[in-house]
């Protein structure tokens, strides 16, 4: 695989025009699946937080550990996708991705149901703008973003720890800082993941099945970046005083 420190090194024996067209197809497929996942997550979230809001609140009030179970389900499906992606048929990998997206929509509803629809829509458009800008930067910059990986991973761990601590402290100021830090972290991950996908493509694929699997995992990473950025922005806009 191509060195991440030099993501745009030319490949030998490959027509640059053919490679460019193939790269466009690779990212088109990733965005296609990402959008399908986003639509599935949005539909599930809307149904639970708007259409069936009363029933969903009643269920949550009577099952206090439901959010933990939802988070656990997300982690299990994600681990299953990573562990078995190389051995599963493509259609099963795609099915797991859609299951993951639906569970992600359930988790999103736990936040969006407590904010007015105007805040949610505004947060979505803000996310699209920021996400699009960082994605373009990750794809177009000639600067290697490999060094961002460790920093962003440690920042993400710090965010999780801070969120757990603040769950007991319940400090609005700390929560506000966490939200802004979360936006910055996932903005950085958006650029980093896009460049990483381009490096993966430059490394080549043994066959179309391997490329299809890379598409699914790429769509999963980008979907997670988008949704997490969106959730932090919702909380920032919704908690303004």
What angle, rounded to 10 degrees, do the helices at 208-238 and 90-112 form? 0
Q: Tell me the mean pLDDT in the region 41-66.
A: 92
107, 228 Cβ separation under 8 angstroms? no
**pLDDT tens digits for range 69-121:** 998 999 899 888 887 666 778 888 899 999 999 999 999 999 999 999 999 99
Compute the distance between CA of residue 155 and CA of residue 157 in angstroms, rounded to an integer.
5
- 159/3: higher pLDDT: 159
**pLDDT tens digits for range 190-230:** 999 999 999 998 888 877 888 888 999 999 999 999 999 99
Buried/exposed 17-35: b ≥16 CB within 10 Å, e otherwise: eeeeebeeebbebbbebbe
Residue-level length of the chain = 241
Q: Tell me the mean pLDDT in the region 235-241.
A: 78
pTM, 2 dp: 0.87
User: If pLDDT is split at 50, 70 and 90, which confidence band does 35 have?
Assistant: very high
Collapsing DSSP states into helix, strand and coil, what is residue 166?
A: helix
Q: Tell me the mean pLDDT in the region 134-157.
A: 91
At residue 171, does pLDDT exceed 80?
yes
Note the pLDDT of residue 3: 45
Q: Which of 28-42, 73-87, 156-170 has the lowest mean pLDDT?
A: 73-87
Percent of the chain surpassing pLDDT 70: 89
């Amino acid at each position: 695989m191509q060195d991440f420190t030099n993501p745009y090194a030319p490949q030998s024996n490959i027509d640059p025009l053919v490679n460019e067209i193939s790269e466009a197809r690779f990212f088109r497929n990733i965005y296609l699946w990402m959008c399908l996942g986003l639509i599935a997550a949005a539909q599930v979230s809307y149904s639970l937080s708007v259409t069936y809001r009363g029933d969903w609140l009643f269920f949550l009030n009577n099952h206090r550990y439901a959010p933990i179970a939802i988070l656990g389900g997300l982690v299990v499906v994600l681990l299953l996708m990573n562990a078995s992606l190389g051995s599963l048929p493509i259609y099963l990998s795609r099915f797991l991705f859609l299951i993951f997206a639906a569970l992600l929509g359930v988790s999103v509803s736990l936040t969006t149901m407590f904010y007015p629809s105007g805040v949610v829509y505004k947060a979505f458009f803000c996310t699209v703008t920021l996400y699009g800008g960082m994605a373009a930067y990750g794809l177009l910059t000639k600067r290697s973003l490999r060094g961002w990986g460790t920093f962003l991973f440690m920042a993400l761990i710090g965010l999780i720890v801070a969120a757990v601590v603040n769950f007991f402290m319940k400090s609005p100021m700390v929560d506000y800082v966490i939200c802004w830090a979360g936006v910055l972290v996932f903005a950085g991950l958006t650029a980093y993941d896009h460049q990483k996908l381009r490096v993966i493509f430059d490394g080549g694929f043994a066959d179309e099945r391997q490329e299809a699997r890379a598409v699914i995992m790429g769509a999963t990473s980008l979907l997670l970046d988008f949704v997490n950025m969106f959730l932090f922005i919702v909380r920032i806009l919704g908690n303004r005083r």
